[in-house]
């Protein structure tokens, strides 16, 4: 699986869902490339790395995040 096989997925097909196949692919990537979309208290946020609890899906980036990257990005 080189990219998300579901072009109809949210965020222009870039969000990997939480299915077993998608999760296995995402978790095989270097953690520095992964961001997890979570929902906490009805707020959407991106957190760096792998997270199982409260996750809605994952993004795999082409460039590894820097150490100075934020620990959470609130998006809605």
> What's the confidence (pLDDT) of residue 69?
87
| pTM of the complete model | 0.83
Per residue in 14-70, pLDDT tens?
899 888 888 898 999 999 999 999 998 889 999 999 988 889 999 999 899 998 988
| Domain limits, the chain | 20-74
8 Å CB contact between 75 and 46: yes
Strand spans (E) along 1-76: 34-40, 43-48, 55-60, 73-74
End-to-end CA distance of the chain: 29
Residue 3 pLDDT greater than 70, yes or no = no
Q: How many helices (H) and strands (E) does the chain have?
A: 1, 4
């Amino acid at each position: 699986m080189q990219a998300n096989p579901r072009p109809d997925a949210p965020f222009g097909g870039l969000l990997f869902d939480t299915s077993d196949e998608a999760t296995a692919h995402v978790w095989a990537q270097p953690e520095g490339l992964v961001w997890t979309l979570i929902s906490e208290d009805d707020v959407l946020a991106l957190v760096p790395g792998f997270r199982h609890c409260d996750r809605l899906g994952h993004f795999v980036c082409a460039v590894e995040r820097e150490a100075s990257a934020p620990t959470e990005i609130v998006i809605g």
